[in-house]
A and B are shown apart, each in its own frame.
Chain A
């Protein structure tokens, strides 16, 4: 089955700096890769996702890149702000078949943005 590895487990940056979180996956059948932000006491919130037919997607300060050959994808946050502090999870799944929609999550990265 699918296995998703996420690094680093913790990340501390100064406000205004960039943050990068990396994930690798094992199953070549995976073709959908969402990123979630989880704040304390809340459920995970979808912040950006990418499908395997594109290599990069950007939404304001957040971008995701995908390298299908190497089976890795990354989250990039620019101009970080204290409110970006949270736990971030990557995930992978196929979009169809009997595993369609079943998300396998990485271990999470606790991001701390210091003012």
Chain B
């Protein structure tokens, strides 16, 4: 399966600032997704990152708070804007060769807000 690298692996940020998380894959993939995992909780899909067009957001997530870029088939970024303590979570990217192929996850970015 693809090797997925996320950066940074963890960060501590001040309230009101923003953090951009990078997801790099070692091969071209059709599907890239961003998930949030709050402490001790399950995974919730934030959005599907579409190459060359705007991301598709799930209910409860908006572009102003979670802008996403996907300039090519191997790279995507998720920005978490105007950080508040409620944003303290693990953010994970996942990839799949197609919608009918298994999804594989990176190791996540652990974000804490002071």
Please give the residue numbers on chain A whose beta carbons come within 8 Å of chain B beta carbons, in ascending order: 1, 32, 34, 36, 41-46, 49, 89, 95-96, 100-108
Please give the residue numbers on chain B whose beta carbons come within 8 Å of chain A beta carbons, in ascending order: 1, 4, 31, 33, 41-45, 48, 58-59, 92, 94, 96, 98-100, 102-108
If A43-B92, A107-B42, A108-B42 touch, does A34 touch B103 (CB 8 Å cutoff)?
A: yes
Distance in angstroms between the alpha carbons of A37 and B13 in the assembled complex: 29
- A89 B42 Cβ-Cβ under 8 A: yes
Q: Which residues of B lie under 8 Å from residue A41 when comparing CB positions?
A: 107
Distance in angstroms between the alpha carbons of A45 and B43 in the assembled complex: 13
Distance in angstroms between the alpha carbons of A42 and B29 in the assembled complex: 21
Q: CB-nearest residue of chain A relative to B101?
A: A101
- A46 B42 Cβ-Cβ under 8 A: no
- A102 B42 Cβ-Cβ under 8 A: no
- B100 A100 Cβ-Cβ under 8 A: yes
Distance in angstroms between the alpha carbons of A46 and B48 in the assembled complex: 19
If A101-B31, A102-B48 touch, does A44 touch B99 (CB 8 Å cutoff)?
A: no
- A95 B100 Cβ-Cβ under 8 A: yes
If A101-B31, A103-B45 touch, does A43 touch B106 (CB 8 Å cutoff)?
A: yes
If A34-B102, A49-B102, A100-B99 touch, does A43 touch B107 (CB 8 Å cutoff)?
A: yes
Q: Which residues of B lie under 8 Å from residue A34 when comparing CB positions?
A: 102-103
